[in-house]
Homo-oligomer: A and B are copies of this chain.
């Protein structure tokens, strides 16, 4: 095994010029951005963000009212089903040119940048190229979902597992069977499979479903109350706690 290395991303080859910030902008409600991220956004010369092929960007929409007029913007367009590496290579190169020119670049990240976020791919590329790059943590959707549901994630000596929905049934069963609490993320087309496993384990009555937490379109409901043929968008989550509401 290799040693876990860079504790910080200090520049190695470039002289220190501009800095790139991965800004956690929170789960959706514009005011759930931190003062720190907000302030960096105000002084950033360049603002970059992930976008769909057509240019629509949820991250950009979340902070729309916070972005000063007239900034240079870079939409990093991720194309479904195509390799992402060349896209991040190109984005890192473009951002790197701004940094070399002494500019400050803010990269918008939904939720928290390092919690299943795509910013890490830029972070690695920029740091490896010797640029100054910092991560500003943000409010994760997991915490926002718990707050909206009025359901604590974990307490005392609970083990909490974050489990992606795309895992196969066996893995889902193993992980869910061996924890006090769980947040099941990335549901989308895996929703029915996940729901079946929760049912098998007798945890349905301990499970809450929420989608688009803190956005106007938010929806939340006990999992047991969803119809059998319910579907879920990608931005949805199931929170489970084995003790139910015993903490009250």
Q: Please list the residues of chain A having a beta carbon within 8 angstroms of any beta carbon in chain B.
A: 1-9, 24, 26-27, 29-36, 38-39, 112-117, 120-121, 123-125, 127-128, 134-140, 143-144, 146-147, 149-164, 166-167, 171, 174-175, 178-179, 186, 202, 205-208, 220-224, 241, 244-245, 247-248
Who on chain B is nearest to A30 by CB?
A: B35
With contacts A7-B150, A134-B147, A174-B178 known, what are 13 further pairs, Cβ within 8 A?
A1-B202, A2-B205, A4-B222, A8-B149, A32-B34, A112-B147, A116-B155, A124-B247, A135-B150, A137-B139, A137-B140, A157-B166, A159-B175
By the criterion CB–CB under 8 Å, are B150 and A4 in contact?
Answer: no
Residues on the B chain within 8 Å of A222, using CB: 3-5, 7
In the docked arrangement, what's the CA distance between A149 and B164, Å?
24
Oligomer copy total: 2
Does the CB pair A147–B114 fall under 8 Å? yes
Provide the residues of chain B in CB contact with A149, threshold 8 Å: 7-8
Q: A7-B150, A113-B147, A143-B24 are in contact. Are A167 and B175 (CB under 8 A)?
A: no
Q: Are A120 and B162 in contact (CB under 8 A)?
A: no
Q: Which residues on the B side are within 8 Å of A140 (C-beta)?
A: 137, 140, 143
Known: A4-B205, A34-B34, A150-B8. A120 touches B155 (CB 8 A): yes
Contact check: which of B5, B136, B208, B247 meets A245 at CB < 8 Å? B5
A154 to chain B, nearest CB (A): 6
* Residues of chain B within 8 A of A147, CB atoms compared: 24, 112-114, 134-137
A120 near B247 with CB under 8 A, answer: yes
Please name all residues of chain B whose beta carbon is closer than 8 Å to the beta carbon of A128 when the two chains form the complex. Answer: 248
